[in-house]
Structure 1
Amino acid sequence: MAQVYLSLGSNINRAQYIRAALDALAGQFGDLQVSRVFESEAVGFLGDNFYNLVVGLHTDLPVGQLALCLRGIEDANGRLRSGPMFSARTLDIDILTYDNLTGAIDGVKLPRGEIVKNAFVLQPLAEIAPEVLHPVEQKTYRQLWDEYDQASQKLWPVEFNWP
């Protein structure tokens, strides 16, 4: 079984859609490793704040089938794909890593570049997988978070209960 880390985000009815995504992921994959939920300002556009978190899970699905499954969860939760890339969304689920795979696999670029660029991905990933090595950087997520310019993006934990 592959170890996979996903990022989840929402800035429309945030708590509702994050809970729905966690329910769907748990139903599909079983036990989840779930970070705290963080609130952050929108990046790349003006919009309402996001809720973001990282989820770890195990799966036998190949990368392409996993991506289709995640897209189905997004679509079932009202995700619209007709607007600009950087825009408000009910739910965004991205594959961050799939084991230690690198490169374009089934149309998915691994590891996802956002890991080292966005605090709302790196901090929750460092929280649940502090000793795991980034497959390209060859540093742990804790090391990467410690080296990150933490003042560059506003991010704060929020009270969130699931299930």
Structure 2
Amino acid sequence: MAGRVKVYLSIGSNVDRERYVSAALDALGEWFGELEISPVYESEAVGFDGSPFLNLVVGVTTDASVGELSRRFKRLEAENGRRRNVPKFSARTLDLDILTYGDAIGQIDGVELPRGEILKNAFVLRPLADIAPEVLHPVCGQSYGELWQEYSADQRLWPVNFRWQGRQISLSAG
């Protein structure tokens, strides 16, 4: 794909969470400039018994390829202490995933697009619906706002206070 593309990506952490989420946002801000940032949510660990995660979705516009983004994000995860030699469902300092790359569908540079977690996990769909409620899922054709309204899986998450670079990007519901 040539030209500038809108990309949505998820950020998650359940180890020293504020530090690693902020480090990810700092790096993304340096790379892409203006970031569209969802509220930050706390959610229970899914698939293993662990500390709660902080999750959010960020929208960027880029001319980088899927492969280039994937390599860059894996390097950022590693620089922030992410270990790859652990079980899939385990604690992590930083987890960055490409959710969508424009309207791309299929396996591109080893990345499945759109990411299946969008339709499965509240901690991905809710923040995506927050910043892109009118955007259509490239496969099912429904907007993320509609998909969130219809979401019925039993996954709890709640907004939390979060400050980044001196500004409030998220407030708790309380």
TM-score, structure 1 as length reference: 0.98
Distance in 2, Cα, partners of 1:136 & 1:23: 31
May I ask how many residue pairs the two structures share in their alignment?
162
Distance in 2, Cα, partners of 1:137 & 1:91: 29
Q: Helix, strand or coil: the match of 1:161?
A: strand
Tell me, yes or no, if structure 1 residue 61 matches structure 2 residue 76: no
Distance in 2, Cα, partners of 1:115 & 1:161: 25
Pairwise CA distance, 1:133: 0.2
Of residues 144, 151, 156 in structure 1, which corresponds to 2:158? Answer: 156
Map of 2:19 onto structure 1: 16
- 2:159 corresponds to which letter in structure 1? P
- 2:65 corresponds to which letter in structure 1? P
Matches within 5 A, 1:130-145: 130-145=133-148
Distance in 2, Cα, partners of 1:136 & 1:61: 22
Of residues 66, 79, 86 in structure 1, which corresponds to 2:89? Answer: 86
Q: Which runs of 5+ in 2 are unaligned?
A: 166-174
Distance in 2, Cα, partners of 1:7 & 1:101: 17
Q: Helix, strand or coil: the match of 2:162?
A: coil
Pairwise CA distance, 1:8: 0.4
Question: What percentage of aligned pairs have identical amino acids?
Answer: 60
- 2:155 corresponds to which letter in structure 1? Q
- 1:42 corresponds to which letter in structure 2? A
Tell me, yes or no, if structure 1 residue 114 matches structure 2 residue 117: yes
Tell me, yes or no, if structure 1 residue 25 matches structure 2 residue 28: yes
**1:84-136 C-alpha deviation (Å, 9 max, x unpaired):** 01100000000000000000000000000000100000000000000000000
What is the Cα-based RMSD across aligned positions, in Å?
A: 0.6
**1:38-89 C-alpha deviation (Å, 9 max, x unpaired):** 0000001010000000000011111001100111111111111110011000
Distance in 2, Cα, partners of 1:162 & 1:41: 22
Pairwise CA distance, 1:3: 0.2
Distance in 2, Cα, partners of 1:21 & 1:72: 11
Q: Which runs of 4+ in 1 moved over 2 A?
A: none
**1:19-51 C-alpha deviation (Å, 9 max, x unpaired):** 000000000111100001000000010100000
Map of 2:105 onto structure 1: 102
- 1:155 corresponds to which letter in structure 2? L
TM-score, structure 2 as length reference: 0.92
